[in-house]
A and B are shown apart, each in its own frame.
Chain A
């Protein structure tokens, strides 16, 4: 796989290491805008080819190399640049175009511009907090590719438990495990008690429906 990673931010640092691990034989090309950063990146990532480019030249580079690129990942410190470069990659028909956002508030703007794969490094904050603080219903992971969702629901009352049992029985595309307050894990909801947490993995559509049920019952 041939991947172009643009930017030398700390997000790019994690991206570069992840790419190396996922695809050790692949070719990683990194672009940065100052010679000082290019030097640092070359030393930090000896497995990558690091190129110095001016901000305005990157789009031409993408267009010129689009036919040999499998993925473009834009991880600069500016979401404006990320948007520009992702749009150039998309227009050049690069198969995978990924942006790593600096500001989560830009997610909707990127989606409107047709950027499908948007990584929001801050999205983990509310999820982790909700798990730690015992939030009622929590989406733990939404797969960017396969419409798969992982979620957790706090079993706060009998009605909710009954509703969830009924919905689970009717859903063939969702699996569940229950974690009791004491930390015991079971796959049988018959052993579920109040105060524990139900973990669900399955189709986005079905789990979204169950989360709605949970929120509705909690509101009541």
Chain B
């Protein structure tokens, strides 16, 4: 099975060279894709020079991580897709191999990476409580918001990509709904910047919105309840007015 490694990125010229080179060193990797969110630096130029396939995400929304992940999946040709944050300072080929191997070996359809770090605040205070309420089967995951994932490419075409920070938990729920075999793999220590608190507030709302939209979709939450208690609290778009539901 061939592996495509996908890096969603924006203004990461200092990380991209090392990340692409590291990815190409991992077993079974046939292509590296850098999906850019409209960088103003040399990220794309360096990525292309290092042999990565490049594309700019279709919508320049902020945060557009989900759009970038979707576009990466659509461009990829490998059987297995591996997603990683590009700014992991201690990234090694083993990170990628640990994520891809359960899928390559036929043990899993979707792999969620976890790492040695205290789980984040949004994870503990938002994602896990909501998952326990609506998707208790998924509450066992140590880091449901981890952006280090791998999965069968064909399954990524059957799920809904949230546009922003809700994408990771959204994919977890959607793969679970598809009946995919999901495992969590410890990828070791991850040297990575923590987000400041003000950035976490927006992230928390987006994560909550992603879980609640799916809970409504999957008839686990009463939309009238959600409307009464959650609409207007902040920018949680439940898709109730537009009937859209998903980006």
Contacts and interface: CB of A to CB of B under 8 A. Distances in A.
Interface of A: 54-56, 77-81, 83-84, 102-103, 105-106, 109
The 7 A-B pairs with the shortest beta carbon distances in the complex, nearest first, are: A80-B74, A80-B75, A102-B58, A105-B56, A80-B71, A55-B157, A79-B58
A191 to B, nearest CB: 46
B72 interface: yes
Given A55-B74, A109-B54, 16 more contacts: A55-B157, A56-B154, A79-B55, A80-B71, A80-B75, A83-B55, A83-B75, A84-B74, A84-B75, A102-B58, A103-B57, A103-B59, A105-B56, A105-B60, A106-B55, A109-B56
B70 interface: yes
A83 B57 CA distance: 12
A78 B75 CA distance: 9
Interface residues of B, number: 18
B38 A105 contact: yes
A102 B57 CA distance: 9
Nearest to A102: B58
A15 B36 CA distance: 27
B72 to A, nearest CB: 7
B71 A78 contact: yes
B18 to A, nearest CB: 23
A7 to B, nearest CB: 11
A96 to B, nearest CB: 23
Contacts of A103: 56-60
A204 B109 CA distance: 54
Contacts of B56: 79, 103, 105-106, 109
A84 B76 CA distance: 9
Interface of B: 35-36, 38, 54-60, 70-75, 154, 157
A207 B35 CA distance: 36
Contacts of B58: 77-80, 102-103
Contacts of A106: 55-56
Contacts of A56: 154, 157
Contact of A80 (B38, B55, B60): B55
Given A78-B70, A103-B60, A109 B55 contact: yes
Contacts of B57: 79, 103
A41 to B, nearest CB: 17
B74 A102 contact: no
Contacts of A84: 74-75
B8 to A, nearest CB: 12
B157 A102 contact: no
B228 to A, nearest CB: 28
B55 to A, nearest CB: 5
A93 B70 CA distance: 28
Residue among B55, B73, B157 having the largest count of chain A Cβ atoms under 10 Å: B55
A150 B71 CA distance: 35
Contacts of B70: 78, 80
Nearest to A82: B58
